[in-house]
Amino acid sequence: MTTTVPVAPAKASRREWIGLAVIALPCLLYSMDLTVLNLAVPALSAALQPSAAQLLWIVDIYGFMVAGALITMGTLGDRIGRRRLLLIGAAAFGIASVLAAFSTSAEMLIATRALLGLAGATLAPSTLSLIRNMFHDPGERTLAIGIWVSSYSVGAAIGPLVGGVLLEYFWWGSVFLVGVPVMVLLLMVGPVLLPEFRDPQAGRLDLSSAALSLAAVLTTIYGLKQTAEHGPGWAPGLCLLAGAGLGLMFLRRQRRLADPLIDLALFRRPAFSALLTTYTLGCFTMFGAYLFIAQHLQLVLGLSPLAAGLWTVPWALAFVVGSMLTPLLVRCWRPADVVAAGLAVTAGGFVLMAQVRAEDGPQWVIGASVILSLGLAPVFTLATDLIVGSAPPERAGAAAAISETSAEFGGALGIAVFGSIGAAVYRTVMTDGMPAGVTPEAMNAARSTLGAASAAAAALPADVGAALLAATREAFVDGLRLTAWIAAAIMGATALLAMTILRRSSPGDSRAGTASALQAAATEAPAARLRCSRAAHRASCAAHRSASRPTAERRNRHKG
């Protein structure tokens, strides 16, 4: 009987790390494009004269198309090649950016933003699945995914800053041209630095499934967004029902296909479903929180958009720090414990945010947001690592697309739910606590939104307007505090979920030191690594790694 000796995964070379830097840049631009347009809205409105409905579509169509096309693009990359799809998407993104910058009408800008969304949908699943192929060592893969996750938070943070600087010196279209040099660089060095990978036994892409997934996601997110902006109504309700019906049709079709768009067997794995739920709920609370933070900085504290953007930089940096610390944490703690601890820290950040008062400066709410970022960064990094690692290598693109689609759904749902709760609290408080001397017209405006109240207060006598603003700001902060308490409860419950289900259902050795090692134990049977001691983790980790080898050899000998 022969004995199989475990072979350590190959370490990444300089080429892989440079390739990671290359694919992190388009991810940064992808998220930056979600925020960079906000500051350009006044200038492009003056230039193109869009209607109110057209302006909404200019702002929203990019995110809608990204969310709707993720599943299709992830599966398409598995079939035609992930590097090929990434390069096609980069070329389309660059061309669409130029067309958007020089748009001559609102209709043209809507169409080019939609094309940008389709191109952007190729970036996340392609780059994430390529990381799985480029980094075979579990620790290196976790670090690479941490860098990948950080690129999105950095892009979202610097979007308003870059937009503010460009609009200070150039025309509104310049905000779209930032990504063109990056995409050109990707097209030049991508074929050299990035490996190609595709499923050699992939079947045909089912166009009906692709259309159903796009329609289901678009109608659902549109309904959620309309609910967040205008409150519950029959039109958003019909959109949500239509999205649910199309989603059920999509799932039924996947069960019948020999080559489905997504592998539904993944959802039968408890660890996969638990991690996907954790990731979705994390995005749910994060997007809902930052909806209030942005409004609090500008409408309650009166900061300019650029100043508010500068105050959001600390939470983005905290997210980067948390992502980079994740590989160190999972060397000595179980991934399930790290996820649960991160969720508990996030709950603590929401409890701190629930103490914010209208008269407090930005330091309090920004401090709370930094704690949220430090808590959620390892959660997102490990959840992404485990979700993608749970799929076979040839289906990593589809798993990455499922992960990112759940994030889009979670974010849209968080904005809708928390926005509706905050709006309900605001209307209730303003109905009961309207200051004396406010005209009926100003009352109606003040009960709708804080922004409308600020405009109405400017037309009132100074003392009455000041009293109205104080009341509206206090009402808004009441809504913020209630949603923060709700988010804290959700994160606390999710931490318990991670402690129970993930510990019980994690594949492989439950004491594995990294997220990737857990999944590799299920698919490649590498040597298990014992959990290191918290008191003297460096020496203990080395001893336990050495002691774990006989256990792995006995397993392999048994298999042999």
pLDDT for res 517: 38
DSSP letters for 242-297? HHHHHHHHHHHHHHH-SS-SS-GGGGGSHHHHHHHHHHHHHHHHHHHHHHHHHHII
Contact 150, 335 (CB under 8 A): no
Amino acid at 560: G
Q: Pick from 200, 262, 536: which is nearest to 387 by CA? A: 262
Average pLDDT for 91-113: 89
pLDDT for res 350: 92
Which residues, 6+ apart, have CB-to-CB distance to 330 below 8 Å?
142, 338, 382, 513, 514, 515
Contact 106, 48 (CB under 8 A): yes
CATH 1.10.10.2120 for domain 15-194, yes or no, is no
Q: Where are the domains of the chain?
A: 15-194, 266-509
pLDDT for res 21: 82
* Reported confidence tier of residue 202, pLDDT bands at 50, 70, 90: low
Cα(172)–Cα(506) distance, rounded to whole angstroms? 50
**Domain pair 15-194 / 266-509, same fold:** yes
Q: Tokens 């902006």 belong to which residue?
A: 229
* Angle value at C-alpha 418, between 417 and 419, nearest 5 degrees: 90
What confidence tens digit (pLDDT) does each residue in 46-67 have? 788 887 667 777 877 787 788 7
Cα(484)–Cα(493) distance, rounded to whole angstroms? 14
C-alpha distances out from residue 211 to 68, 208, 245, 276, 543, Å:
9, 5, 14, 23, 54
The full 3-state SS of 42-93, as one line of letters, equals HHHHHHHCCCHHHHHHHHHHHHHHHHHHHHHHHHHHHHHCHHHHHHHHHHHH
Residues in the chain: 560
What confidence tens digit (pLDDT) does each residue in 466-495 have? 787 788 888 888 888 898 999 999 999 888
Exposure string (b/e) for 411-431, b if CB count within 10 Å is 16 or more?
Answer: bbbbbbbbbbebbebbbebbe
Query: Which is it for the CA torsion 110, 180, 313, 413, positive or negative?
Result: positive
What confidence tens digit (pLDDT) does each residue in 251-306 have? 888 788 777 777 777 677 777 777 788 888 888 888 888 778 877 887 788 777 66
pLDDT for res 396: 67
pLDDT for res 543: 39
CATH architecture group of domain 266-509: Up-down Bundle (1.20)
pLDDT for res 229: 64
The mean predicted confidence, pLDDT, of the chain is 75
pLDDT for res 531: 34
Quick count: other Cβ atoms within 10 Å of Cβ 235?
12
C-alpha distances out from residue 213 to 29, 208, 216, Å:
25, 9, 5
435 or 113, greater pLDDT: 113
C-alpha distances out from residue 61 to 37, 56, 64, 117, 474, Å:
12, 8, 5, 7, 33
What distance lies between CA 381 and its chain's CA centroid?
A: 11
Q: Lowest mean pLDDT: which of 361-375, 499-513, 517-531?
A: 517-531
